[in-house]
């Protein structure tokens, strides 16, 4: 029933962050090299994500917003190897149920004729019309939660905090996506559109951080290339299920940028902490704890700026534990953390502090 659909959708799309996250990840999955996120009235009126990705082929227009439709998974076996962000086919259908939802999309073959798609709350295609456009897709979410009055009032009441969170999340994507030119803009109800930040496509993470946080922040950072050697201790995933024998090790790398440890000085960098697993933004509180503890042994009064991408083999972790895929289970995390602590101390010791 439509009530059940609405309730389930409200569990996939819980706030502005989930809208931005789902749409940006779809654009990345579609191979976009430019992504523009446009807010109206901080997202309360509209969130639009426009990309220059593959576009949606006409034969998929009917099914694109139906529940569990996805083009990204052909069999269950694929799940563990999956490189794309999405795979559940729930985001677009949920957004249909919770907002005024439309898409403008165009593939290479159809350009410059794009199609505007409008949907019913069930995800059923309601109407199509031809408009002009280039290759890519714009997904337009207006009046989020308009049909869930309690949720809508909560969003309006907490808009300051929600806005901070969604901008942080977009900062996090913009910094890590070296192949994507990111632009984020906002237009107040009365007034003109302002660009909040933008990155260049084909950049390094260093250049991205400069464009998002400023050159002063970047100058206060040191670059990390930590190699953590993991020894398989039990018959587990590290060992592909076999008992340990030949003393072989697995390498996990932690790459990125972290505040230069400075004894006792004033604030150098914003205390933003961004963690990723193989380029996928996620919360890693245990890792954050190690970084903070080691850093505070140099400078007790501050927390460091952290941009850390944990690069490891896909069989060493499990991303499918929560629907928003922000939670990641790392196997043998204890060993990784011990190892990380030692490597960080070593890195900091080789700096002039
Ligand atoms: P999922 O990402 O889990 O597949 P979604 O509901 O997020 O599910 O999207 C459904 C489908 O719509 C995707 O599998 C993809 O084929 C298509 N799609 C969504 N956004 C885009 C986009 N920006 N560009 C091209 N195709 C898209
Ligand atoms: Mg998706």
Task: Give the model's pLDDT for residue 85.
Answer: 56
Residues with CB under 6 A from ligand 1: 22, 26-27, 30, 51, 53-54, 56, 64, 69-72, 86-92, 137
Ordered domains of the chain (ranges, CATH): 2-210 (3.30.565.10), 214-349 (3.30.230.10)
Question: Does residue 122 contact residue 5 with C-beta atoms inside 8 Å?
Answer: yes
ipTM of the complex: 0.99
pLDDT of residue 164: 96
Kindly give the number of the ligand 1 atom that is closest to the alpha carbon of 54: 25
Mind listing the pLDDT tens digit for each residue in 166-224? 999 999 999 999 999 999 999 999 999 999 999 999 999 999 999 999 999 999 999 99
pTM: 0.90
Please report the pLDDT score of residue 268 as a whole number.
65
To test the ligand 1 pocket, which listed residue (8, 62, 73, 92) has its Cβ within 8 A of the most ligand atoms? Answer: 92
Instruction: Encode pLDDT of 92-102 as tens digits.
Output: 999 999 999 99
pLDDT less than 50: residues of the chain: 75-76, 78
pLDDT reported for residue 234 = 61
């Amino acid at each position: 029933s439509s009530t059940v659909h609405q309730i389930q959708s409200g569990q996939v799309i819980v706030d502005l962050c989930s809208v931005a996250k789902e749409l940006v990840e779809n654009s990345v999955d579609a191979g976009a090299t430019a992504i523009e996120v446009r807010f109206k009235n901080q997202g309360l009126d509209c969130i639009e994500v426009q990309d220059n990705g593959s576009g949606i082929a006409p034969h998929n227009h009917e099914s694109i917003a139906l529940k569990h439709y996805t083009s990204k998974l052909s069999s269950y076996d694929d799940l563990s190897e999956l490189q794309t962000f999405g795979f559940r086919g729930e985001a677009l259908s949920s957004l249909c149920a919770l907002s005024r939802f439309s898409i403008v999309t165009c593939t290479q073959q159809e350009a410059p004729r794009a199609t505007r798609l409008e949907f019913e709350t069930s995800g059923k295609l309601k109407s199509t019309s031809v408009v002009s456009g280039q290759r890519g897709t714009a997904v337009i979410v207006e009046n989020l939660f308009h049909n869930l009055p309690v949720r809508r009032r909560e969003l309006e009441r907490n808009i300051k905090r929600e806005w901070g969170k969604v901008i942080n999340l977009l900062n996090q994507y913009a910094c890590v996506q070296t192949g994507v030119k990111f632009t984020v803009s906002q237009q107040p109800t009365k007034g003109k559109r302002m660009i909040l930040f933008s990155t260049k496509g084909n950049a390094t993470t260093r250049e991205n951080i400069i464009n998002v946080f400023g050159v002063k922040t970047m100058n206060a950072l040191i670059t990390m290339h930590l190699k953590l050697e993991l020894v398989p201790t039990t018959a587990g995933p590290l060992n592909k299920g076999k008992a340990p024998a030949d003393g072989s090790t697995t390498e996990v790398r932690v790459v990125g940028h972290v505040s230069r440890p400075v004894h006792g000085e004033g604030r150098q960098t914003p205390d933003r902490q961004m963690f990723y697993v193989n380029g996928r933004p996620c919360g890693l509180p245990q890792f954050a704890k190690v970084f903070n503890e080691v850093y505070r042994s140099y400078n007790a009064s501050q927390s460091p700026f952290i941009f850390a991408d944990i690069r490891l083999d896909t069989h060493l972790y499990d991303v499918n534990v929560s629907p928003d895929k922000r939670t990641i289970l790392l196997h043998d995390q204890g060993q990784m953390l011990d190892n990380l602590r030692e490597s960080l101390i070593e890195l900091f010791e080789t700096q002039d502090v």
